[in-house]
Amino acid sequence: MTFEKAFDSIKKKFNGADASKVGDLAIQITFSDEDCGGTFYAEIKNGVLAVEPYDYHDNNAAVNISKSALLGYLGRRSSLDKALAECNGSVYGDAAKVDALRSVIPKAEKKAPAKKAATAAKPAEKKVAAVKKAEPAKKAAAVKKAEPAKKAAAKKPAAKATKK
C-alpha cells in the first residue's frame, strides 16, 4: 500500500471529529512500514483539527509506528503501549497528547446484529412442503380404504335384489 492510500485511510478516521474540548496540540506521525513509509501530522488549534501529509517539527509528540498498529490504536482495539510494542514503535514527547488526539475520533457505532428470520423461514417452508407431500399419500390411503366399503355396499343391495 502506498503512503497516500495509508494516509487517506487514517485521515478518514478523523472525519466527524469534535476537537472543541481538547486543548492545542500537534502530533507528528511517521509510518515505520517499508512499503508505505511517510510522515504526516495531526494538529488541534483553537478547537479545529487538521490532518495533513507534512512534517511538523514544532510538535508536542512524535510517533514512529506501523500503519496497522496505528489503525488498531485509533480504532480503540489496543492501547498506545500495546500498539507501539506490536511494531517496536516509539513516542518522543508527551504521550498524553497522543491519547488526547485519539479521544477526538468518533467511536464507531456498533451495527445491529442481522436478524435470523430468513434462516428460520427456511425450515418452516420445508415443513410445509413435507406436509404437502404427505397429504396426497393420506388421500390415496383414504381412497383405498373407502373403495372396499363402496364395493361391499354395492354388492349387498344387489344380493338382496336377487333373493326376493
Tens digits of per-residue pLDDT, 114-144?
Answer: 555 455 545 555 555 555 555 555 555 555 5
User: What nine digits make up the cell of 124?
Assistant: 418452516
User: What nine digits make up the cell of 69?
Assistant: 498498529
Amino acid (one-letter) located at 81:
D
Angle (CA) 91 94 97, round 5°: 105
Average pLDDT, the chain: 77
Of 47, 54, 55, nearest to 22 (Cα)?
Answer: 47
Among 67-71, 73-77, 81-85, 155-159, which is the least confidently predicted range? 155-159
pLDDT at 105: 87
User: What nine digits make up the cell of 71?
Assistant: 489503525
Burial string for 50-68 (b: 16+ CB within 10 Å, else e) reads ebeeeebeebbbbbbbbbe
> pTM value?
0.63
Q: Which residues pair with 65 in a beta bridge?
A: 31
pLDDT at 79 over 70: yes
pLDDT at 164: 47
